[in-house]
Amino acid sequence: MPELPEVETTKRKLEPLIKGRRILDFDRKILGLERRGKAILIWLSSASPKQYLLAFHQRMSGRLLVVERDFKDKYIRRRFKLSDGKDLAFHDVRKFGVVWYGPAKKVLSDQYFRTLGPDALTVSLQSIKNLLIAKKSGKIKSFLLDQKNLAGIGNIMADEILWKAKIHPEIKISTLSDNEIKTLWNSIRAVLQKSIKLGGSSMRDWFHPDGDSGGYFERRRAYDREGKKCFRCRSKILRKKIAGRSSYFCSKCQVI
């Protein structure tokens, strides 16, 4: 599933291609794009006082593309005609993606948006501390994956963040010291920013709107490296099912 870095990359690359165009299907002008968690919001003009939104959640394999009007692909689930003669297309191999359209108030009342926690890229240290205090009975990997706690982190980023912070994915939140929480917060920002800089992770069928691929997956430190040597201490990377997901961590650097 595209995580925060992939969605942010999509938003940054898509915006200059479509901002200022009109979507002929709705006769509305595209005013700008925004990312909330793992969703992309396209703000549209309106003759009424109400603001309108077209929004997408890419889920497992969704991609947003700008294509020629005669471009055909069996995996394009929705397409919207743009005023420049091209189409905004939602390409989704696995059919899990979500598309919203309507008055902004109605779209943002959807449960996904209503329950989103603070954005993982901009959350403050104090907010992280408060969130962890509120969830002190849980484990840190589960905390990071829950979008109600922090918006945007998925399985890859969670493992990479915890590896950088030297925190075991099963460690109880209640045992984290102030220094460990600060290290975790710094790691969240550092890993997400690095992944965004590298264009995210291109795995299986996810690519940028312009067809480019992300370079973070080749630079990962823990995720999907079972049995390989830790880049930091040369011990083995282990894999274990945690919070229903395969988790990867160092057998020496990350201990409970």
pLDDT score, position 94: 86
Could you give the residue range(s) of every CATH 3.20.190.10 domain in the chain? 4-114
156, amino acid identity: I
pLDDT at 205 over 70: no
CA distances from 196 to 93, 102, 190, 199 (A): 24, 30, 10, 5
When comparing pLDDT for 60 and 21, which is higher? Answer: 21
User: Please, what is the Cα angle at 4 between 2 and 5, to 5 degrees?
Assistant: 85
Q: For the chain, what is the largest distance between any 2 Cα atoms, rounded to a whole number of angstroms?
A: 62
- pLDDT over 90 (residue 211): no
CB within 8 Å of 127: residues ≥ 6 apart: 118
pLDDT tens-digit readout, 59-69? 878 899 999 99
Which of the residues are catalytic? 2-3, 38, 245
User: What would the mean pLDDT of 214-218 be, rounded to a whole number?
Assistant: 90
Position 204 scores a pLDDT of 66
Q: Work out the pLDDT band at 10, boundaries 50, 70, 90.
A: very high
Render pLDDT for 223-233 as a digit per residue (tens, 0 to 9). Answer: 999 999 999 99
Mean predicted confidence (pLDDT) in 153-171: 97
Where is 67: in which H helix or E strand?
strand 62-68
pLDDT band at 8, cuts 50/70/90? very high
Name residue 177's amino acid.
S
SS (H, E, C) 105-147: HHHCCCHHHHCCCCECCCCCHHHHHHHHHHCCCCEHHHHHHCC
Handedness of CA 39, 91, 17, 47 (dihedral sign): negative
Average pLDDT over residues 151-158: 96
> In percent, how much of the chain has pLDDT > 90?
84
The chain-wide mean pLDDT, for the chain, equals 94
Q: Where in the chain is the domain with CATH 1.10.8.50?
A: 125-250
- Residue 249 and residue 145 in contact, taking contact as beta carbons nearer than 8 Å: no
Cα–Cα distance for residue pair 193/189, rounded to 1 Å: 6
Label the pairing between strands 237-242 and 22-23: unpaired
User: What pLDDT shows up at residue 243?
Assistant: 83
pLDDT at 218: 93
User: Would the pLDDT of 154 be above 70?
Assistant: yes
pLDDT > 70? residue 132? yes
pLDDT at residue 207 above 90? no
Topology classification of domain 4-114: N-terminal domain of MutM-like DNA repair proteins (3.20.190)
Task: Indicate if the pLDDT at residue 55 is higher than 80.
Answer: yes
Residue 1 pLDDT greater than 90, yes or no: no
pLDDT at 163: 98
Q: Burial code of 189-206, b = ≥16 C-beta within 10 A, e = fewer?
A: eebbeebbebbbbbbeeb
Domain spanning 125-250: CATH 3.40.50.720: no
**pLDDT higher than 80, residue 206:** no
